[in-house]
């Protein structure tokens, strides 16, 4: 084994991270429980093994050289991968994921998602005690490891992209008409009608119906940017040459519509309260009325090796979420519960 490989230990990488975060050798030494001279000696040993200078000695601060910065960034990545391996091993032993990442599309009810998170935290301990096998018959695991939930807000193709690129384990609000890659399963959430709306004081509010494209092209459209970075972004209902104001999410789009900054299609459940109060006006258009069909998708575990008798099962946290999504009441709440009565239970 080369000197450089033996020098790049997790402790050495953690030391670099501590020095960079704290900004000085003295502060890093306190954090790591060492004396500054011992930390300085460890850094010199690492520099000798790699035959590079990692810190600029001319500065009073712990200033990284270009080589030191590269080692810091790669070291943090390696430490993350080491943690991921440990987490995967832990998951195999307990059945619970250390982290479950959920991509949530912009059309999904935020209040309902947070209530599902609340139920998950309340129920996961009970569920795990009844499903997690004990290490030995005499000493059962009393407290299972907690699963951290990570919610990702995505728009249009970005929701699907987060799943297929491995950034999410579960995606809620994907288009149901996608071609499925291997290792992904999908189920239906339901339809969401879209309506064309403007503010009452917008010029189109008094226009004769149905509005045609020749009339619409003279008025600014409000569009929501697709959050996809790798997949081809989706553009919906924009006319060639039409002025466009692009915003980051559907709630910002509705705010822009309320201010009469433009016109556009929105999910009817998200605009329902504004329409009922007269703050937005629904206008019929010549083109077909839109209806989006949404679903939820998850990454399906595959067998660890070719010819294995059983396919790997989803972790207990993912299994809990999939069970909740089987409820028609929950699916309806995810698509329609955007109103002001956010305190009502979904089940």
Residue with tokens 């509005």: 211
Question: Domains of the chain: which residue ranges?
Answer: 3-93, 94-135+142-189+293-336, 200-290
- 220-245 pLDDT, tens digit per residue, is 999 998 887 766 666 777 888 889 99
pLDDT at 143: 40
How much is the average pLDDT of 32-43?
91
How much is the average pLDDT of 326-347?
76
- pLDDT surpasses 70 at 134: no
* % of the chain residues with pLDDT over 70: 80
Domains 94-135+142-189+293-336 and 200-290 in one fold: yes
Segment holding 31, helix H or strand E = helix 25-32
- pLDDT surpasses 60 at 130: no
Instruction: Give the mean pLDDT of the chain.
Output: 82
pLDDT at 90: 66
Q: What's the CA gap between 211 and 218, in Å, rounded?
A: 12
- CATH superfamily, domain 94-135+142-189+293-336, is Periplasmic binding protein-like II (3.40.190.10)
Confidence grade of residue 269 (pLDDT, cut at 50, 70, 90): very high
Q: What's the CA gap between 119 and 26, in Å, rounded?
A: 45
pTM, rounded to two decimals: 0.65
Are 344 and 324 contacting, i.e. CB atoms less than 8 angstroms apart? no
Residue with tokens 């601060």: 61
The pairs formed by 254-260 with CB atoms below 8 angstroms and a separation of 24 or more are: 254/280, 256/222, 257/197, 257/198, 257/199, 257/222, 258/199, 259/199, 260/198, 260/199, 260/201, 260/202
Architecture of domain 200-290: 3-Layer(aba) Sandwich (3.40)
In CATH terms, 3-93 corresponds, of 1.10.10.10, 3.40.50.720, 3.40.190.10, 3.30.1360.80, to: 1.10.10.10
- 338-347 pLDDT, tens digit per residue, is 875 444 545 4
56-70, 250-264, 303-317 — most confident range = 250-264
How much is the average pLDDT of 131-149?
47
């Amino acid at each position: 084994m080369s000197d450089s490989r033996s020098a790049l230990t997790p402790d050495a990488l953690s030391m670099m991270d501590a020095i960079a975060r704290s900004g000085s050798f003295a502060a890093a030494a306190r954090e790591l429980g060492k004396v500054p001279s011992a930390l300085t000696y460890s850094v010199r040993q690492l520099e000798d093994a790699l035959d590079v200078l990692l810190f600029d000695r001319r500065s009073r601060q712990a200033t990284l050289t270009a080589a030191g910065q590269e080692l810091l960034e790669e070291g943090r990545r390696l430490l993350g991968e080491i943690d991921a391996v440990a987490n995967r091993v832990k998951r195999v032993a307990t059945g619970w994921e250390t982290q479950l990442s959920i991509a949530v599309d912009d059309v999904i009810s935020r209040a309902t998602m947070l209530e599902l998170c609340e139920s998950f935290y309340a129920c996961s301990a009970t569920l795990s005690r009844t499903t997690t096998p004990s290490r030995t018959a005499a000493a059962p695991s009393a407290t299972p490891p907690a699963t951290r939930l990570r919610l990702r807000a995505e728009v249009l193709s970005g929701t699907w992209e987060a799943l297929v690129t491995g950034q999410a384990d579960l995606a809620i609000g994907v288009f149901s008409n996608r071609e499925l890659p291997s290792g992904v399963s999908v189920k239906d959430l339901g339809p969401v009608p879209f309506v064309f709306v403007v503010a009452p004081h917008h010029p189109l509010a008094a226009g004769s119906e149905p509005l045609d494209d020749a009339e619409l092209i003279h008025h600014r459209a409000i569009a929501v940017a697709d959050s996809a970075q790798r997949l081809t972004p989706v553009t919906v209902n924009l006319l060639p040459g039409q002025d466009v104001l692009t915003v980051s999410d559907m709630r910002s789009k509705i705010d822009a519509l309320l201010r009469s900054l433009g016109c556009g299609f929105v999910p009817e459940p998200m605009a329902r309260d504004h329409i009922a109060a007269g703050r937005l006006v629904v206008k019929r258009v010549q083109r077909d009325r839109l209806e989006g069909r949404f679903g939820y998708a998850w990454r399906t575990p595959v067998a660890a090796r070719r010819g294995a008798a059983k396919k790997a099962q989803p972790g207990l946290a993912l299994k809990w979420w999939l069970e909740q999504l089987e409820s028609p009441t929950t699916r309806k709440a995810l698509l329609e519960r955007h109103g002001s009565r956010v305190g009502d239970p979904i089940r």
